[in-house]
Amino acid sequence: MPPQLLVSVRNEIEAEAALQGGCDILDIKEPARGSLGMADIEAISAVADVIQQQQVDVEVSTALGETTDWYAAAPPALPAGISYAKLGTAGLRPDLDWQQRWTGVRRQFELAANRNISWIAVAYIDWELADSPPPLEIVAAAAEAGCAGVLFDTFAKTGRGLFDWLSKPQLRALVNDIHSADQLVAVAGQIAAENVPTLIDFAPDIIAIRSAACAEGQRTNAIHAEAIRYFKTAMHNAAIAN
């Protein structure tokens, strides 16, 4: 089965453009706040409302910032209609009890929403820069916690992408471990259309983009439907060739 295309948007206007471009999953985040920057809860609710009003068959995920952001703050209640949530792991590496802290913050979000949430664990492939546990630890923790999947992403948005940090054998081994646990694999990190044929060989379930969906390929610019269509075409062609 070909991978789904996730497009990260910051508000309902960008959500409309992503839907026009043909995304399969709408992800909500604020790129100005970092790799996994959480958008204001009002923006998250507005995007969820767009999907509900249009009754489109698109899942919605949201970024919730880093685990460390919530040590001294009460999480807001996420709106209904959020299929997946992601909580970053930057800054957790020195903490011997990081898994307990990570689990505790996720539980706080579930208590605030008064429901269980499907979690996507975040493995930063530039984990030393992020001061995060390495990907292998995140994959193991995600399986133990019963997460819905694992996202491989870059913490520092410096132009270096997925394969600048992970070798192909490393990625293949990690993907196999995740799929063996019946979890989803999502890949991100400065992915461009020309990377798609290589990525398809690793059988990810989700390819996640922000920069490639934006004007001039700049992640802080606005989403363009035409850029998403271009990327979707690359995915379609790669799937046929594969």
Instruction: Give the span between the Cα atoms of 24 and 231, in whole angstroms.
Output: 12
Backbone angles phi, psi at 185, to 5 degrees: -115, 125
- Considering the candidates 29, 157, 168, 232, report the single residue annotated as catalytic: 29
Active site residue 157: no
E strand intervals along the chain: 4-9, 25-28, 59-66, 84-88, 119-124, 149-153, 184-187, 206-209
DSSP H or E stretch at residue 171? helix 168-180
Instruction: Give the span between the Cα atoms of 28 and 88, in whole angstroms.
Output: 14
Q: Are the C-beta atoms of residues 130 and 155 closer than 8 Å to each other?
A: yes
Active site residue 168: no
Q: Are the C-beta atoms of residues 206 and 168 closer than 8 Å to each other?
A: no
Q: Is 98 helix (H, G, I), strand (E, B) or coil?
A: helix
Catalytic residue numbers? 29, 86
